[in-house]
Amino acid sequence: MTHEFKVEDMTCGHCVSRVAKSLRIFDPDAKISVDLASHSVVIDGAADRDDYAYVIRDSGYTPG
């Protein structure tokens, strides 16, 4: 299932790296795309949307 989040408080490459790394640790089989320019995170994975949102939040960012 594909989930898309707007993460407006990602402001630099470090932010992108941190979010992507946390999501990959949580769900290694998911396809993850993080785009700084559009502040978007797209995840194609088997976990629940709320679980992915929790991982993003736990990384220090606000998923919308």
> Read out DSSP for 4-60?
EEE-TT--SHHHHHHHHHHHHHH-TTSEEEEETTTTEEEEESSS-HHHHHHHHHHTT
| Residue 37 CB-half CA count within 13 A | 0
Rounded CA-CA distance 41/43 in Å is 7
Is 64 inside any structural domain? no
Give the pLDDT of residue 51: 98
What's the structural domain count of the chain?
1
Give the residue carrying structure tokens 């990602």: 10
Is 24 inside any structural domain? yes
Domain that holds residue 41: 2-58
For the domain that residue 51 is a member of, what is the CATH number? 3.30.70.100
pLDDT per residue as tens digits for the range 10-56: 999 999 999 999 999 999 999 999 999 999 999 999 999 999 999 99
